[in-house]
Structure 1
């Protein structure tokens, strides 16, 4: 499902429902957030898109989002006769298992987040987090994970306050490590790649930052669907050999999930267990050939590579469909340039706004309403970003996408590589602070 499609497309049987939100039996925090946003019925809830729903919970959006989708799923499905839980384990999956279609209702699939590395990282991190308010399993899941990595630190003897699991950890050079596990003895950085491309010196910079945190850093972990090696581009191209351990969702995360589901001493809360099973099924059901494929003939990949070689850009999104980099940020807002793939040989350009949040990636979907309520902030950003603001639309409408004025940035077939690079160079020339040339 497209992330901008309404949830009614996933739950058509509930679209006309006048049931109150209380029917979903949500936690108080989730229910209150919905009410504050004017959502009082299931029908109103289904008019939101995936992005809008997650945007209602900027601090802990994923667990609340998952809970709501799970409750909607339960409400939409007719009750089934009770049956014995199948607890069998799988020693080895058939070679063609990844090519099978998933027939069960899986939130990762129906919500269009099956390939989102951010979502997968947050779910895994929440399970590992001993301070989680959602699973209350303490260090049970984390201990199994560390054993799987070959680290035999006994967390039962550690103070719980000395253990942290965080996502989107900001580094000194304004980069973000996808996940960090900090124990009394170790500082373990993880880079997760599903669709995103390696960035220049990314792993090199993350490892340097980790070494300065005062704990042992045995390596940097590189988690991908198939366990492939990172590119030399990401390693920094230095003579020093970077200690990298490659992990895969299939060979590392899947066995860990199975172990947690079937061999954990204390009972797992029902809703947490369901999410774990759906995450496991999502990983089982993926075709590895669709992940992390760099195509040297793809125009979007060429643009990313060319811009990364020319400039030291702050990339916030790098997927198979679009790439986005920050141009300038100030207070609560930022301007970003997005290049979106139209065909294999053509792209479209967008100059967009995002809301910047502390320790979070910018949210581009929610910027429009914010600009509408705080037009002066947008005007200040506009005048402080561009030498000639008249080149950019000054509209304060709720649309965040129409910021390029008088530019044929999108036609029926999009624009090709050379035309796109020329237009991007022109946009860079409008900026008061041109992006720094890449000297590495």
Structure 2
């Protein structure tokens, strides 16, 4: 007989969520060693995902299964892609900045791999034109994302409407890539190294898509939602969830803003917290609206021209010094030299020093652990304090070496 704690609740209540938690604990596998996660960030589009996928797709890849995996991939997308590769196939990564490029005869398949990075201006349009300029007649565009969403208008604004309708295919890691690699794993059953690599890669996909792997787990959740009209209340829960995420992220921005004003003075006019409707801006980001943009808080850096103390969000939150005149300016070179000994720091085109906030949280793909952390006010304060204190160390270092 089923224990009372596991009986399906009759309404959405605390017991409903307790039941969901029990299912999660029962079916979620404990973290296992994963070589992909050890060697690369799970969101590394180029050096992890594109390279691994390209090798599987390549008939001359190290898997030694010739074109078997490529044919499986094309078969899965047959209805939308409508292409057959009858001549010799080449597969490249980062050819003219294209993540994965498959070529055969007069056919070119461009795969744009987007996990968390934003679209660049005319990105898909430019890739299409590059292939057209090289003489390819049959050009297919695959836009690969975690859940299969559409590219931005910014990326496709110069693509002909006919190309958007017939030659652009949306592909998801959550379903398309996961199911395809699962089939590859079955084929590689007798090849232990390849089989294990595919299994570990499937685990990476599950993490970046928050995918439920157990069918029993999924079946029980579906049954729970279909009980007593529970599913009809889900839109309310989704709305409340987005509102909570907005509350938490806005609170972090306010805490960062308070610390920066206290330590460095007045915020610049484009800082998110002093806009007319900061909550709306944060909500747009949470809801992934096309009009949304990354947020920042910045303060003019004393003693420098066109140089700012900056905190910015690009899925992750990072901070440091921003030089508007770029990496060729004397100020950039001066700051880079003075801050070269900061550990875990980066140097980008307009930032002589940049550091990721700790813990590193991807606000576009919040894990259960992230959500538990952010729900505690003291953790949000600690997160903001880390940023402000590190910025203070940077500015003190710049003053001491003046």
Shorter-chain TM range is 0.3 to 0.5
* TM, length-normalised to structure 2: 0.48
Q: Which structure would you say has the larger Rg?
A: 2
Q: TM-score, normalised by structure 1?
A: 0.44
